[in-house]
Every structure is written in C-alpha cells, then in structure tokens.
Amino acid sequence: MPKRNRTIAREISLQALFQQDLTDSKKEDLDDLLAEAAKGERGYARALVTGVLENKQELDSRISEVTANWKLERIAAVDRAILRLGLYELLEMAEVPPKVVINESVELAKKFSTEKSGAFVNGVLDRIYQTMSAGRESSSGKENNHDSEA
C-alpha cells in the first residue's frame, strides 16, 4: 500500500476514534464512517480502529505513564485519539518504521489539532518509543548473557 493511502487511512481512523471517544459510538456507527473510506484505505483504517478500541486500556495506561503531569481526560480529545493511534501502530504494526509512525502522528496533530499539539504528540510518542527500545535492548542483552553462559 503506498504511503499516501496509509496517511489517508490514519486520517479516517483518527476521525472514527475521535467520534467514538466523544460520543461513545457503537461499532455500527464506526463501520459507517469506515465504509466512506476508499477501498485501498479501508482495510488499514479498520485494522487501526479495531486495534485501538480493543487495546484502549493498555494504550491509555502507557500514555499515562509518560504524561504524569497530565491526566488523560485533560488531554484534548483529538490529541488523545492521535496518541492512541500512534502508540497502537508503534506496538502492533511492525512493518511501519517507528520514525514514520511518530512523524505521521505529528502531522495529524498539526493538521487536526492546535499549534502546540505536534510537539506534544512528538514528545509523548518519542518517550514511549525510547522506553520500548531500551526495554528491547536490555532484554536482548540478557539473552546474550544466557547464550554465553551455556
């Protein structure tokens, strides 16, 4: 799928997640919104929206860990949706490079939120990504230690 289609899919996903967050929309309402997407974007958009909704508690918990001074409810709804979307992609869409995910999330924030939202989204996702990377390095380091002891 070309990059442009994924960018469109992210925009559609953001709109669906924003709507769901504010109105607690039913799955059918989200299906209607996703049905408006062109065929090429629909599959990726549906995967993102479904994944975010199914993992919302874990995503919110991870976001809350790095936004200690901000209660999740105080984060603007559109920024909250962008953070959930970006974090889900970081965690579950291994085929998308993390820098692309973060960059696309920042662009969504600039387009759909406030002037300062891009920097906020970048800071939160980058901090989570750095924590994830550090965790992978330390766990792979442990594996190497076990290998050398064997």
**Residue positions counted in the chain:** 150
How many alpha carbons lie under 13 Å from residue 136 in its C-beta half-sphere? Answer: 7
Cα→Cα distances 49→56, 73, 95, 97, 149, Å: 10, 20, 17, 19, 44
User: What domain range includes position 145?
Assistant: 3-149
Tell me the two tokens of residue 38: 């062109």
Rounded to the nearest 10°, the torsion over CA 18, 36, 25, 124 is -20
DSSP 36-73: TS-HHHHHHHHHHHHHHHHTHHHHHHHHHHH-TTS-GG
Residue 45 to residue 16: CA distance in whole angstroms? 9
Q: Which amino acid is at 148?
A: S
Query: What are residue 102's phi and psi, to 5 degrees?
Result: -65, -45
Local confidence pLDDT in tens for the 150 residues of the chain: 445 889 989 998 999 899 888 887 666 666 777 776 666 677 888 899 999 999 999 999 999 999 987 788 899 999 999 999 999 999 999 999 999 999 999 999 999 999 899 999 999 999 999 988 887 766 665 444 444 333
- What pLDDT, on the 0 to 100 scale, is given for residue 145? 43
CB atoms within 10 A of CB 116: 12
Query: pTM of the full predicted structure?
Result: 0.83
Question: In the chain, what is the greatest distance between 2 CA atoms, to the nearest angstrom?
Answer: 57
> How many separate domains does the chain show?
1
Tell me the two tokens of residue 109: 């924030």
CATH number for the domain that contains residue 100:
1.10.940.10
